[in-house]
């Protein structure tokens, strides 16, 4: 089976117990690698391919069969006037045989079959790597989405608390007769709207956590606190370096190269039909029997035969099936070669897009962070101005909404940046490092 190591986040050996209160990203990846249902299915399929990858399955070894049969016959001829012997006739027999069949040569098809089985195993492991790679990508994004939704929740709580504070402040002023009722109603309405938004965000947060649990293969209502901070490492990547890594490590491209090798073996298997087939057949058969007439002593008999035969067969003509099979396999090899070239071009295009998107989202995130910082400072100034009567409740609400919107935009741009970075690393084969374990 594949031994897969996550290269972005170094995994520890412990597996998370959901009775714990915290969940790190590396713990989440470990749990997913162990419990995700799609990963379990693809790993079992890889195990099937490994079981079939043997010389016996390829046809190198002989087949040996053992057969035995036992027969009993009783014939009562005592009342048959036409019988030569008018008596009770009893016969028993035991036959056995051991047969060996061995194809000594079939045009190198055995070696080609074994190579193909090895390539099929590698292909199965490559497919497993893609499933694991996609699962880890989905898990990284889901983990950060939970964090983003939780941060939005805190932001909405902050906005709601601001509205409540202003409502309480205006309620007190109304009670002592120093405030107009419209301000009180305005902030009361803001509290109701912010409370509704908060409840909707709580649902979004719980759904995000459920999605993370599903990817990990855990119970959907498992509860924990995310221990890692939001990703903040966004380096500048050199495109030439990314392209080199993609051409060497992209798992989909690796799988396409494996398909190419499988089709080459199919060509060799098809060509093997042009050679003669030499077979060897050997074995032994024995027979033991007894025959008894009425009360006379039984007569015993036995024989044992050995045999060993060689056979040679050569297909002289079969309507051109062999030639067509070779041509078909050769065409399929060429088709796969074109698919490899096409995939390289597609991946190059995707890499350029992903790299440009990543760099653009870095800039957008930086701008949104700066905008959110300015909005926070503006809100702090607005609170002082409102209390001094320089701005009214409507102006303050607009500034508070701006603070909320810029905060949400900053969080969403951060998630988009994490998405772009993760996709860039997946394209270059950076999510997984693959090595064979024996």
* pLDDT tens per residue, range 79-106: 777 777 777 777 888 898 999 999 999 8
Task: Report the alpha-carbon distance of residue 407 to residue 394 in Å, rounded.
Answer: 20
Task: Report the alpha-carbon distance of residue 52 to residue 118 in Å, rounded.
Answer: 9
Q: Which helix (H) or strand (E) holds 93?
A: strand 88-105
Task: Report the alpha-carbon distance of residue 72 to residue 261 in Å, rounded.
Answer: 58
Q: Which two tokens stand for residue 92?
A: 């028993």
pTM: 0.79
Handedness of CA 353, 355, 358, 364 (dihedral sign): negative
Q: How far is CA 97 from CA 141, 282, 392, 423, in A?
A: 65, 11, 106, 64
The CATH number of the structural domain formed by 2-35+108-276+320-436 is 1.20.1600.10
Task: Report the alpha-carbon distance of residue 33 to residue 28 in Å, rounded.
Answer: 9
Question: Helices 321-387 & 251-271, crossing angle to 10 degrees?
Answer: 170
Answer whether 30's CB lies under 8 Å from 11's CB: yes
Residue that has been written with the tokens 């080459």 in this structure: 264
E-state strands within 253-405: 277-293, 299-313
Task: Report the alpha-carbon distance of residue 209 to residue 212 in Å, rounded.
Answer: 5
- Tell me what the mean pLDDT of segment 15-28 comes to: 69
Answer whether 117's CB lies under 8 Å from 54's CB: yes
Task: Report the alpha-carbon distance of residue 339 to residue 327 in Å, rounded.
Answer: 18
In this predicted model, which residue has the larger pLDDT, 242 or 79?
242
- Tell me what the mean pLDDT of segment 32-59 comes to: 91
Strands 432-436 and 22-23: unpaired
Answer whether 78's CB lies under 8 Å from 88's CB: yes
Task: Report the alpha-carbon distance of residue 216 to residue 25 in Å, rounded.
Answer: 11
Q: What is the pLDDT of residue 294?
A: 67
pLDDT in tens, 361-371: 999 999 999 99
Q: What is the pLDDT of residue 238?
A: 94
The per-residue DSSP string of 371-429 comes to HHHHHHHHHHHHHHHHHTTSS-HHHHHHHHHHHHHHHHHHHHHHHHHHHHHHHHHHHTT
Is the pLDDT score of 278 beyond 90?
Answer: yes
List CB contacts of 242: < 8 A, sequence separation 6 or more: 351, 355, 424, 427, 428
Is the pLDDT score of 198 beyond 50?
Answer: yes
List CB contacts of 269: < 8 A, sequence separation 6 or more: 109, 112, 113, 116, 329
pLDDT-derived band at 437, boundaries 50, 70, 90:
very low
Task: Report the alpha-carbon distance of residue 408 to residue 411 in Å, rounded.
Answer: 5
Q: What is the pLDDT of residue 54?
A: 93
pLDDT in tens, 390-403: 988 889 899 999 99
Q: What is the pLDDT of residue 178?
A: 62
């Amino acid at each position: 089976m594949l031994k897969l190591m996550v290269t972005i986040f170094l995994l520890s050996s412990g597996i998370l117990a959901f009775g714990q209160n915290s969940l790190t990203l590396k713990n989440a990846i470990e749990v997913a690698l162990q419990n995700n249902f799609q990963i379990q299915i693809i790993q079992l399929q890889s195990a099937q391919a490994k079981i079939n990858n043997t010389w016996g399955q390829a046809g190198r070894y002989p087949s040996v069969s053992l057969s035995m049969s036992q027969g009993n016959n009783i014939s009562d001829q005592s009342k048959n006037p036409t019988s030569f012997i008018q008596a009770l006739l009893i016969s028993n027999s035991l036959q056995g045989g051991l047969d060996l069949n061995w194809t000594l040569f079939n045009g190198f098809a055995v070696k080609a079959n074994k190579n193909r089985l090895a390539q099929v195993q590698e292909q199965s492991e490559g497919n497993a790597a893609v499933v694991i790679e996609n699962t880890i990508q989905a898990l990284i994004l889901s983990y950060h989405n939970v964090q983003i939704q939780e941060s939005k929740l805190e932001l909405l709580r902050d906005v709601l608390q601001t509205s409540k504070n202003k409502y309480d402040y205006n309620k007190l002023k109304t009670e002592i007769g120093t405030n107009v009722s419209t301000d009180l109603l305005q902030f009361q309405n803001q509290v109701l709207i912010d409370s509704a938004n908060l409840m909707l965000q709580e649902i979004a947060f719980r759904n995000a956590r459920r999605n993370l649990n599903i990817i990990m293969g855990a119970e959907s209502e498992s509860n924990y606190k995310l221990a890692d901070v939001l990703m903040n490492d966004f380096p500048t990547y050199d495109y030439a370096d990314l392209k080199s890594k993609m051409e060497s490590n992209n798992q989909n491209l690796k799988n396409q190269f494996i398909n190419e090798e499988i089709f080459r073996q199919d060509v060799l298997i098809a060509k093997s039909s042009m050679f003669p087939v030499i077979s060897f057949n050997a074995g032994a058969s024995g027979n033991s029997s007894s025959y008894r007439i009425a009360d006379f002593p039984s007569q015993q008999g036995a024989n044992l035969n050995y045999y060993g035969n060689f056979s040679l067969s050569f297909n002289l003509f079969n309507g051109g099936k062999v030639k067509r099979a070779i041509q078909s396999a050769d065409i399929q090899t060429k088709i796969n070669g074109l698919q490899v070239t096409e995939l390289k071009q597609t991946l190059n295009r995707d890499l350029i897009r992903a790299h440009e998107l990543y760099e653009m989202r870095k800039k957008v995130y930086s701008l949104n962070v700066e905008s959110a910082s300015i909005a926070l400072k503006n809100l702090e100034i607005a609170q002082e101005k409102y209390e001094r009567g320089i701005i009214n409740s409507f102006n303050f609400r607009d500034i508070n909404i701006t603070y909320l919107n810029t905060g949400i935009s900053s969080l969403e741009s951060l998630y988009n940046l994490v998405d772009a970075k993760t996709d860039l690393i997946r394209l270059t084969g950076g999510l997984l490092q693959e090595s064979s374990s024996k």
